[in-house]
Structure 1
Amino acid sequence: MTTPVDLRLLDFADAIGVAIEYGRMPADRDGIYDHDARRIRLRRGMSARHHRSVLAHELGHAAFGDCHTRFGPVHAKQERRAEEWAALRLIDLDDYRHLEAVHAGHPGAIAVDLDVMRSTVIAFQGLLERLGDSVYMRPRMGAGMWERREGVS
């Protein structure tokens, strides 16, 4: 079943001129973005939530124009950034807040209810900073430097 989120991801791929193909992948890969070819290749047969999370992650690479590298620190930064990009597009803060309370913050249970992978929820959790009675989305240095601030009890 294609959801509105899935359609937004496909529309984004189309808007930036990235083709999506399906086929066999190396055993350790579910998806890969080839910047030179402007193509995302995905493993056939993934569950809907796995497909959604992998596609969003690979679109994160496309959004940043990531090129494959074997240099560890750069590769790690690209992977973290792509996972965070995906999390911000797949998880609504209000939905997350509700499910965090329901599941006592357990990322696996939250992921099932959000229909995304656990790694996506963990990336989203990493984007939140709790200070006192507030949660800050994507905090940066300096007063008033955040995307969103929410009060929590």
Structure 2
Amino acid sequence: MTPIDQRLLDFADALGVRIEYRELPTDRDGQYVHAKRVICLRPGMHARHHRSVLAHELAHALWGDIPSKFGPVNAKQERRAEEWAALRLIDLDTYRYLERVHHGRAAGIAVELGVMKSIVLAYQGLLLRVGDTTYVDARMGAGQWHERIEVA
């Protein structure tokens, strides 16, 4: 178990969320059931898949997401969960190095980071490059960003 895996398990404990392994529908690798405060994961996933799915489902638990019949609500919840997971699973300095090594290709970066490609794509979507500055998770307003890096 890696330190990041332990942090994810500690976060689940802090939220009061149980993790169970059970067979799920073929189109699902994990799901969060808010009424029971449980994350269900498909057994047998390889480590980087398991890590990525667990982080994604922890995000749903953090916000108390409940599936909606309204598609745009579900899409927003899924995007937010993937972005939250990306910010927890990817270290900026390591990402910067791997981005150069793999010429920005998400698949190669994902393998080396031990996460799924969708997590890297979500992280890349959070990057905003303006001139010689890169902002991570930029928001509207002065000083509202997760990290800021001068690259000149």
Q: Hey, what's the Cα distance between the residues in 2 that align with 1:79 and 1:152?
A: 31
Q: How many Å apart are 1:15 and its aligned residue?
A: 0.7
TM-score, normalised with respect to structure 1? 0.97
Quick check: 1:4 aligned with 2:13?
no
Q: Hey, what's the Cα distance between the residues in 2 that align with 1:32 and 1:25?
A: 9
Q: Hey, what's the Cα distance between the residues in 1 that align with 2:144 and 2:65?
A: 26
Q: Hey, what's the Cα distance between the residues in 2 that align with 1:45 and 1:147?
A: 34
Give unpaired runs (5+ residues) of structure 1. Answer: none
Q: How many Å apart are 1:150 and its aligned residue?
A: 0.4
Percent same amino acid among aligned pairs?
66
Give deviations 1:20-71, integer Å, cap 9, x for gaps. Answer: 0001010000000000100000001000000000000000100111011121
Quick check: 1:117 aligned with 2:113?
no
Q: Hey, what's the Cα distance between the residues in 2 that align with 1:94 and 1:16?
A: 28
Q: How many Å apart are 1:141 and its aligned residue?
A: 1.4
What is the letter of the counterpart of residue 107 of structure 2? G
TM-score, normalised with respect to structure 2? 0.98
Runs of 4+ aligned structure 1 residues displaced above 4 Å come to none
SS in 2 for 1:113: helix
Q: Hey, what's the Cα distance between the residues in 2 that align with 1:8 and 1:59?
A: 11
Q: How many Å apart are 1:83 and its aligned residue?
A: 0.4
Q: How many Å apart are 1:93 and its aligned residue?
A: 0.5
- In the alignment, what sits opposite 2:43? 44
Give unpaired runs (5+ residues) of structure 2. Answer: none
Give deviations 1:66-113, integer Å, cap 9, x for gaps. Answer: 011121000000000000010010000001000000000000000000
Count of paired positions: 152
